[in-house]
Amino acid sequence: MERNLELTIRMDNDHVEIDVYEPESGECSQIDAPLSFDEHPEFDAAVGNEIYSWLSLWADELAGQN
């Protein structure tokens, strides 16, 4: 299985916004985080959680095909 996610990233001096768009379903979600190059556990968790939520949906879809 291969899927695509599109990212749109906006940033200023202290903030980053990322739109995560899944072209097949048309669904979009957004991650907002402070911009921090040294420590960024909130950002890491938000990105990881977002990707795993898509993986979970796709795994359910794949299981339903079998």
* 66/40: higher pLDDT: 40
Q: What is the DSSP string of 8-53?
A: EEEE-SSEEEEEEEETTTTEEEEEEEE--SS--HHHHHHHHHHHHH
pTM score: 0.83
- Give 6-33 pLDDT, tens digit per residue: 999 999 999 999 999 999 999 999 999 9
Q: What is the pLDDT of residue 66?
A: 72
- Give 29-56 pLDDT, tens digit per residue: 999 999 999 989 999 999 999 999 999 9
